[in-house]
Amino acid sequence: MREIVFDTETTGLDFDADRVIEIGGIELWNHIPTGREYHCFIRPAGRRVDPGAFDIHGISDDFLKDKPLFQDIVEDFLDFFGGATLIAHNGSFDIRFLNAELRRVGRPELPGHLLIDTLPMARRKFPMAPATLDALCSRFQIDTSRRNKHGALVDSELLAQVYIELIGGKQAALVLDPQDRGGGEGAADQEIAAARPRPQPLAPRLCPEEASRHAQFVASLGEGALWNRYLGAQAETASAEQA
């Protein structure tokens, strides 16, 4: 399953008048990052960056003056985002802005059913706890040292890690060996990972008659049958236990 974890930055909060000025996205395949990413800045035609928005993301009008318009990047954007499940934090905000941009250039909107919003996911998983991206990164001990201000690409990278934790943590990233997790696991994890013999073998589930019929069947297969190897090993184990 292909997923895109994404974020946007905008000139302000007005869905009808404000514009998208930055888009970032990280590709996951079966919840595992592929290394593919999308990032662009966009010049907001006819709209200036609101001072309140600038305080959040630090993207200025002067910085954006030589950047492409949305109509210039829409094909690359749709090539990367099209057909994938979309993951965003407070995603209704981002997708409303993106769909407004798509309508302005006469392109089909992104389907709402493809959106997974991690904000309600986090609120269900941790009721009454803060559910901002910063709070979730702190909860999951995700490094945010690169994040001085909000930025679409860095926030997408952080959200991808948060999303993986929300849906099952390290298991989703195929980290199966506790030694590969970078530490932090307790003794219980080590015990679970280690193979431990049962203190007492389970009682046999076959009655003597069934065991006899099975032995007759194995004998009919000939000496080269794989069952003979298993039965031989079983007999050696039983002999060793009796000794």
- Whole-number Å distance between alpha carbons of 120 and 135: 14
Q: Is 76 annotated as a binding residue?
A: no
Q: Which of 31, 89, 150, 214 is catalytic?
A: 150
In the residue annotation, 39 being an active-site residue is answered as no
* 57 in a known ligand binding site: yes
Angle at 24 between CA 22 and CA 29, to 5 degrees: 165
Residues 6 or more apart in contact with residue 231 via CB below 8 angstroms: 218
Please give the helix or strand (H or E) that residue 5 lies within, else none.
Answer: strand 2-10
Supply φ then ψ for residue 236, to 5 degrees.
Answer: -65, -40
Phi, psi of 24 (to 5 degrees): -130, 145
Is 7 annotated among the ligand-binding residues? yes
Q: What is each CA distance from 174 to 33, 55, 164, 181, 203, in whole angstroms?
A: 11, 38, 11, 10, 35
Q: How far is the C-alpha of 69 from the C-alpha of 90, rounded, in Å?
A: 25
Instruction: Find all residues with CB under 8 Å of 89, minimum gap 6, and list them.
Output: 7, 117, 118, 119, 133, 155, 159, 162
Token pair for residue 134? Answer: 């910063």
Whether 66 has a binding-site annotation, put simply, is no
54 Rama sector, left if φ>0, alpha if ψ -120 to 50, beta otherwise: alpha
Binding site for substrate, residues?
7, 9, 57, 155
Binding site, residues?
7, 9, 57, 155
Residues annotated as catalytic are 150
Binding site for a divalent metal cation, residues?
7, 9, 155
